[in-house]
Structure 1
């Protein structure tokens, strides 16, 4: 049989144990008796002897936080020997390696998979929690790799000056940055009946980076960024304040 599908571009790529991009939309994780944590429902294929164990939000403490904040992960452990492929609604996949010097704050809906050597928890975003519930993110610390998704090709902003990002477009940032909510400077009454993300921005200061995608996450559920986190929580709640 002949087809362009059988060209090297589409064939499975060989890789050592650990994380590797099969292509821009798909993550390949090679296991040799080890474990990887991943978003429930993100496995699209696997080869070998791999077992999957669903773990809700990852402990009773995280379950409670997820119920209260709307942020968090329904994760599964993938254990065994073989290759596992992950994807999420054809979103772009990016792999970050934490070295333990700084954490990563990321919208939980944008997390695809991560190594179990990383610790994670649901934390309030700076002083934004003073505005109300739902302003929380998932923070990873320690050393290891995490794969995240974006809708389209992102921009990575270096925070060497005060930086402001649409609350529904921000994906992740250096956990050491200072954060806060800033009004978009609209005139009084301009927000009535409107839910635009431009009404409020998430502000950053300090030294670090911010990852921004060229699309807004949905405010109520859905894959590739739906529900919870900076995007779902902040954008959804602030949108309700304006509408």
Structure 2
């Protein structure tokens, strides 16, 4: 059989996280370490791999409560074994970020996979539970390791400098530098602004100040996975 389709063969390489193409992640596992991925994100795998549910490690009562609360924000599975697994989410664009003791805040809906060496905790945004793209809590990641994000389309990265504001539609903001100050504000005086879909208003926006950057996707909708109905 002859077809251009057959040219889309699997890539090779030893990097743990690599893009097979802009919408497909290739993860190489060596049998000695694991990765965490969003449940249901596996589309194919080669080799002897296991996929099991993930629960946070145990600790003191307070630590366990915090871990259970933070774990609930991400529905994760553990990928282990020796081989290659391919991850995707409805053809969204994927981005591999390598953190080296940096801190980054990410809207939880946009996380696809991460190294187990990373730490994270929830970050609350006042009234965020009324905003579709932000939610009531976001995640601050820290430590050293790789974090894979997904966006609807190719994103825009906006620098933030002291003394100036950068604004992003609350339904389009993917993440930001954790050192930034963030304010949630209405873009309209309309009392129904929070129900932006179906109205002529712009709804809510996030205002950022400080020094860092903001990542925005070219879409004012939630990721297509598990869109809530209201």
Question: Normalising by the residue count of structure 2, what TM-score does the alignment of the two structures yield?
Answer: 0.83
Matched, 1:212 2:216: yes
Matched, 1:174 2:173: no
SS of 1:20's partner is strand
Return closer, same or farther for 1:90/1:177 CA change in 2, 3 Å cut-off: same
> What is the distance in 1 between the residues matched to 2:150 and 2:172?
12
Structure 1 residues without counterparts, runs of 5 or longer? 228-235
SS of 1:198's partner is coil
Once the 2 structures are TM-superposed, how far is the Cα of residue 38 of structure 1 from its aligned partner?
Answer: 0.4
Aligned to 1:107: 107
Structure 2 residues without counterparts, runs of 5 or longer? 58-63
Deviation per residue, 1:93-137 (Å, 9 max, x gap): 11111110x211111111000011101121213xx2599895310
Return closer, same or farther for 1:108/1:200 CA change in 2, 3 Å cut-off: same
RMSD: 2.7
Return closer, same or farther for 1:66/1:116 CA change in 2, 3 Å cut-off: closer
Matched ranges for 1:75-154 at <5 A = 75-100=76-101, 102-125=102-125, 128=126, 134-154=135-155
Return closer, same or farther for 1:60/1:131 CA change in 2, 3 Å cut-off: closer
> What is the distance in 2 between the residues matched to 1:193 and 1:155?
25
Question: Normalising by the residue count of structure 1, what TM-score does the alignment of the two structures yield?
Answer: 0.79
Matched ranges for 1:58-77 at <5 A = 61-64=66-69, 72-77=73-78
Return closer, same or farther for 1:132/1:45 CA change in 2, 3 Å cut-off: closer
Matched, 1:54 2:57: no
> What is the distance in 2 between the residues matched to 1:108 and 1:81?
28
